[in-house]
Amino acid sequence: MATVSLKKLTKRYGTMEIVHGIDLDVGDREFIALVGPSGCGKSTTLRMIAGLEEISGGTIEIGERVVNDLPPRSRNISMVFQSYALYPHMTVRENLGFSLKIAGIAKEETDRRVAEASAILGLDALLERRPSQLSGGQRQRVAMGRAIVRDPDVFLFDEPLSNLDAKLRTQMRTEIKKLHAKVKSTVIYVTHDQVEAMTLADRIVIMREGYIEQVGTPDEVFKRPATRFVAGFIGSPPMNLHEATVADGKLVFSGGGSLPLPGRFKAAVGAGDKVVFGLRPDDLYPVGHGLQSGDAADVHELELPVTVTEPLGNETLVFSEFDGRDWVSRMLNPKPLKAGDRVAMSFDLSQAHLFSAETGKSLRT
């Protein structure tokens, strides 16, 4: 059993508070991703869990044991660093077995566990090499091997894939997912890449400026973002977010353009309220080139000029102008379009989001 529980966890450097009393409970064997832009405190949080960074307030529990002041070695964790941090003066075999050697474990047992880890990660042919003789992906695997050999309660990953090229990243992502299925440990994974977080994690923690914005499953944070920030951060291409004022059953944008106020927000807002209207590119599409999710009555059509198109093969991202701003839409089963064409666009308002312009919180009731 290894749950991880953060209570009012705070980090200050001098008078600068970096992490502001966050609470988080990670279940046993759960894969949690901490995601956010750089400087949001996600790596600091991870390093506090690892014991590499002292905490300024609150408590950290691993497996229901308070570890606030324990050194890293007493926390039974292992960590994969962004830089891999392999020991360059040791072979792959020595790197893998290092933690066991330090723990004074017998040679036969060490050999057995190194062999096991190396088999899982396909490192058998590389055992006698040194890190400098390995490619980026191989180093990454050795770093993961070093982590699993310890058989820790919790795995910590600090942006492990950000140094790999795009293709290798996708491949290693799959390997990490398989690895988690095999070793069944609790994982806390830090990344700035929302796609990585979405694809890997059971639950995602979105952080911003030292606060947690939302915790939820990938589906929840995508479909029901709690704040404007989460809405803009999760999803690619990002959600269309534009400020508007509520007036008379309509949303009036700054340029004078308007859309009907989606029915389910009618109770939540009143005339004159300033809001941020959000619509995912998937819910805005040239008529007949998207998937309607809700009631047909909620689909609003407008003819708009196309500004840019980005063909991706199976779909095309179409940027069209409405109210003086670019709105991105996803055209499935694409037909050829070019800049300047006028196209009838469907706004699937049943999927629209409204956030308070003031607090940024979702107005979903």
Partner 1 sequence: MDANASARLKRRIATVAHRVGLFLAMLVICLPGLWIVLSSLRPTVEIMAKPPVWIPQQVSFDAYVAMFSGVGKGGIPVLDYFRNSLIISVTSTVIAIAIGMAGGYAFARYRFRGKSAMFLGLMLTRTVPGIALSLPLFFVYAELDIIDTHFGLILAYVALNVPFTIWLIDGFFRQVPKDLAEAAQIDGCTRWQAFWQVEFPLAGPGIASSGIFAFLTSWNEFALASQLTRSINSKTLPVGLLDYTAEFTIDWRGMCALAVVMIVPALLLTFIVQKHLVGGLTSGAVKG
Subset of residues 26 to 85 that bind partner 1, contact rule: CB under 8 A: 50-52, 71-73, 77-79, 81, 83-85
Looking at the DSSP assignment, which residues form a beta bridge with residue 326?
A: 321
Q: Does 134 bind partner 1 (CB under 8 A)?
A: yes
> What is the smallest separation between the CB atom of 148 and partner 1, expressed in angstroms?
12
255 three-class SS: coil
114 binds partner 1 (CB under 8 A): no
Cα–Cα distance between 242 and 327 in angstroms, integer?
A: 9
The binder of partner 1 chosen from 113, 150, 203, 242 (CB under 8 A): 150
Q: Give the shortest CB-99-to-partner 1 separation in angstroms.
A: 4
Distance (Å, whole) CA 364 – CA 107: 59
Q: Rank residues 24 and 134 by Cβ distance to partner 1 and give the closer one.
A: 134
Among 1, 15, 16, 89, binds partner 1 (CB under 8 A): 89
Q: How far is the CB of 122 from partner 1 (least distance, A)?
A: 19
Where does residue 66 fall: left (phi above 0), alpha (psi -120 to 50 degrees), or beta otherwise? beta
The reply to whether 332 sits near partner 1 by the rule CB under 8 A is no
**Amino acid identity, residue 272?**
G
Q: Which stretch binds partner 1 (CB under 8 A): 114-122, 133-141, 204-212, 259-267?
A: 133-141
> CA distances (Å), 252 to each of 110, 248, 266, 272, 323, in order?
68, 9, 14, 10, 10
Beta bridge partners of 252: 245, 258
Residue 137: helix, strand or coil by DSSP?
Answer: helix
Number of chain residues interacting with partner 1 (CB under 8 A): 31
146 binds partner 1 (CB under 8 A): yes
Residue among 47, 67, 46, 71 at smallest CA distance from 58: 67
Binding site for partner 1 (CB under 8 A): 50-52, 71-73, 77-79, 81, 83-89, 98-99, 102-103, 130-134, 136, 139, 146, 150, 163
